[in-house]
Amino acid sequence: MKNYLKRFRVLFIILACMLAVYGVLFFVKGNSKSYTRTNTSCKTEERVFDYGELLTDEEEESLRQLITQREQQIGCDIVLVTLNEPVGNDMYALMNYADDFYDDYQFGFDAPWGDGVLLVDNWYSYGDYNGDTWMSTSGRVEDRYSSAMINDVLEDVFAVVNDNPYQAYTRYVNDIYEDMSVGKFGRYMLTGVTIFVIAAIVTGFYLMINLAATKTKKTTTAQTYVVKGASNLREQKDTFVTKHVTTRRIESSSSGGHSGGGGHHTSSGGHSHGGGGGHH
Amino acid sequence: MIFRCKNCGANAVFSPEKQAMYCPYCDSIDSEEIAAGEGMNFCINCGGELHAGDYKSAVKCEHCGSYVIFEERTSGNYEPHLILPFKLGKKGAQELIKKEFGKKPFLPDDFLSEAKMSEMEGSYVPFFMYDYACRYQLNAQGKKVRTWRNGNTEYTETSIYDIYRDMDVDFEKIPVDASIAMNDEMMDLMEPYDYAALADFQTKYMSGFLAEKNNMSAEELETRARAKAKKDAEALMDETLTDYTAVTEKRQDLNLDRTQTNYALLPVWSYTYTYKGQTYPFYINGQTGKMTGNPPISKAKVFGYVATVFLGVLAAGGLFNLILGVL
């Protein structure tokens, strides 16, 4: 046991230090994290715009309370808009609607058009589905959310929205809270799979290095047992016989590539938004 | 026979560190005198029974710890021409093993324990050393390939040569161990020894160590010596052919004429470790300290340590995420 602790003392010290750092940070920042709203230009205090009449008054009030609490915890506006009206038969129309809604009210926790997110859920159906949904992100939320993360939130919403819209919108608010409560360095967090792969690679190297047998090398050479000065080339002849030359044409090759773009765009009001949407 | 200290009567031994006869009891130097033995069955010092076996020429008495040398196996036909006295002492050999394996994580706990290491013994291993006059004639075809490029065309020129070489080379003291108990491959890996320290045989160098007489004759072992000489001669010949891209041998005539054979004792420290019924031998050159041998692996340690590293990295990754989340 003593040898075991001695052998892994560096690992244990690193883990202990990381645990201590986390403990101190959690004590100092984790418990007391609360943001103060600094956007004084926002044109409304409302966050739940149930134009589609999908929620009861109690549900609306409950959502408002939840949003108020979450906004202070993460420092981002969280807005919900439900509709049941035609806004255009494609996702871009809904995207523009969401972006304009956000811009017109000058949402943003820190400043107008600043940190925040808005979910538009339109129950007006253009096809074999119940409605369209778009999630518009701005400021820190736009920075934090990749397309995959937006899809995750929408998947959570779509899983229950047809049966229980209130539950779906609660999920939306809580998902935003969970993703944004990881702080400004959250984007650098490692996924579970990445950590597992790193652990497997490190362990593999550890095993390989320590299991490699130290094979004794042969340290004699061809000269080791030759009597000094007793190696003599009596005769050496190299007679040229023939030669031939072959040729080969070298084919030139070229390569090319293409670059892709990101998921960000600028709204008609000139403000940057991210986002994504789908049907339910 | 044993070597006795004139001053205290204890067993005087050859000290590799002091390069002199030494009494470990009264610290006297070169105070030895020979006490002749009577056969190989009983210890001259205590009368205890000895186990000489078929080949042992020096043993350690199990009863009194004296090192007994058998005149019957170190004189006459069995008298070595040369001996290479130990230069590396027991402590030095133990330190080398600890240095080599001390940081290996998967060894059994008692592999480097004082109790196990104290069982290490120095042995003089019997060797025959062969001298050869070698003549090597070679006829071969050599190929030189040159490639260059001009525009979009690559040119490859292949030139063919007839090669003839006639080489003389003299080999001196190619060693081959004459002990059945010693693994040939491991004994080969003990080489090279520094022959400048070879001395004419004297039994006093054997006191303090185990030893064997040759188990086989020089003639029986010569095949190995010839193979070594042939391999070295071929390597020397290859050094004259480095200008060629490829060489195809047509005819070679390699003659090895044995000119002399010496019977010698060379110093080797042995450490034998037994783990789960299997024996793991380690040998250390008693002159240069070169070591060979592969230690056993404790599967329990492999599993435990690997699990620790894997879970440790997982935990570090998790803590890394937690810290980022709070920042």
Given a cut of 80, is residue B184 above it in pLDDT? yes
Which member of A203, A224, A238 has the closest CB to residue B310?
A203
**Which residues are paired to B213 by β-bridges?**
none
Given a cut of 60, is residue A255 above it in pLDDT? no
Distance from CA of B302 to the nearest CA of A (A): 8
B240 and A CB contact within 8 Å: yes
Pick the residue with more confidence: B88 or A261? B88
CA gap B190, B78 in Å, rounded: 23
CA gap A78, A61 in Å, rounded: 14
* Geometric angle at alpha carbon B119, from B116 and B121, rounded to 5°: 140
Residue A265 banded pLDDT, cuts 50, 70, 90: confident
Given a cut of 70, is residue B177 above it in pLDDT? yes
Given a cut of 60, is residue A117 above it in pLDDT? yes
Contacts of B108 (CB under 8 A, 6+ apart): B275, B296, B298, B301
Residue A252 confidence (pLDDT): 64
B152 and A CB contact within 8 Å: yes
Chain B residues touching A237 at Cβ < 8 A? 162-165
B196 and A CB contact within 8 Å: no
Pick the residue with more confidence: A1 or A39? A39
Contacts of A238 (CB under 8 A, 6+ apart): B142, B161, B162, B163, B243
CB contact residues (below 8 A), chain A span 148-207, against chain B:
181-186, 188-190, 194-196, 198-200, 202-203, 206-207
CA gap B237, A147 in Å, rounded: 68
Given a cut of 80, is residue A111 above it in pLDDT? yes
**Which residues are paired to B198 by β-bridges?**
none
- The SS3 of residue A27 is helix
Cβ atoms A113, A103 nearer than 8 A? yes
Site of tokens 């069995």: B78
Residue B110 has a CB neighbour count (10 Å cut-off) of 12
Measure the N-to-C terminal CA separation of chain B; round to a whole number of Å: 81
User: pLDDT tens digit string along B119-141?
Assistant: 899 999 999 999 999 999 999 99
The number of C-alpha atoms within 13 Å of A108 and in the hemisphere containing its C-beta is 23
Residue A260 banded pLDDT, cuts 50, 70, 90: very low
**Domain residue ranges in chain B:** 125-296, 298-327
Calculate helix-pair angle for A147-161, A165-180, nearest 10 degrees.
Answer: 160
- The full 3-state SS of A223-240, as one line of letters, equals CCCEEEEEEEEEEEEEEE
Pick the residue with more confidence: A257 or A194? A194
Given a cut of 90, is residue B209 above it in pLDDT? yes
Reported in sequence order, the residue ranges of B98-243 that DSSP labels E, i.e. its strands, are 121-150, 153-177, 199-200, 210-212
Cβ atoms A151, A135 nearer than 8 A? no
Residue B303 banded pLDDT, cuts 50, 70, 90: very high
Distance from CA of B23 to the nearest CA of A (A): 36
Distance from CA of A10 to the nearest CA of B (A): 11
The number of C-alpha atoms within 13 Å of B18 and in the hemisphere containing its C-beta is 14
What is the pTM assigned to this prediction? 0.70
Structure tokens of B98? Answer: 């600890």
CB contact residues (below 8 A), chain A span 28-57, against chain B:
29-30
Question: Dihedral of CA B97/B103/B104/B109: which sign?
Answer: positive
Contacts of B259 (CB under 8 A, 6+ apart): B131, B132, B133, B170
Burial environment of residue B234 by CB neighbours within 10 A (0 to 12, 13 to 18, 19 or more): middle
Residue A30 confidence (pLDDT): 59
**Which residues are paired to B123 by β-bridges?**
B210, B268
Measure the N-to-C terminal CA separation of chain A; round to a whole number of Å: 58
Residue A189 confidence (pLDDT): 80
Q: Do A25 and B326 touch (CB under 8 A)?
A: yes
Q: Do B158 and A30 touch (CB under 8 A)?
A: no
* Interval A125-141 mean pLDDT: 89
* Mean residue pLDDT across chain A: 88
Q: Do B170 and A226 touch (CB under 8 A)?
A: yes
* Interval A254-263 mean pLDDT: 38
What percent of chain A has pLDDT above 90? 60
Site of tokens 């070698």: B134
* Interval A169-190 mean pLDDT: 84
* Mean residue pLDDT across chain B: 94
User: pLDDT tens digit string along A10-32?
Assistant: 999 999 999 999 999 888 875 55
Distance of CA B137 to the CA centre of its chain: 33
**Domain residue ranges in chain A:** 35-189+265-279
- The SS3 of residue B304 is helix
Residue A244 has a CB neighbour count (10 Å cut-off) of 9
* Geometric angle at alpha carbon B108, from A199 and A210, rounded to 5°: 35
CA gap A109, B138 in Å, rounded: 90
Pick the residue with more confidence: A256 or B189? B189
ipTM: 0.87
Given a cut of 80, is residue B143 above it in pLDDT? yes
Q: Which of A8, A238, A240, A241 to mutate to test the interface with B (most CBs of B within 10 A)?
A: A238
Task: Say if domain A35-189+265-279 classifies as CATH 3.10.105.10.
Answer: no
Burial environment of residue A203 by CB neighbours within 10 A (0 to 12, 13 to 18, 19 or more): buried
Cβ atoms B137, B96 nearer than 8 A? no
DSSP percent split of chain B into helix, strand, coil, nearest 5: 25, 40, 35
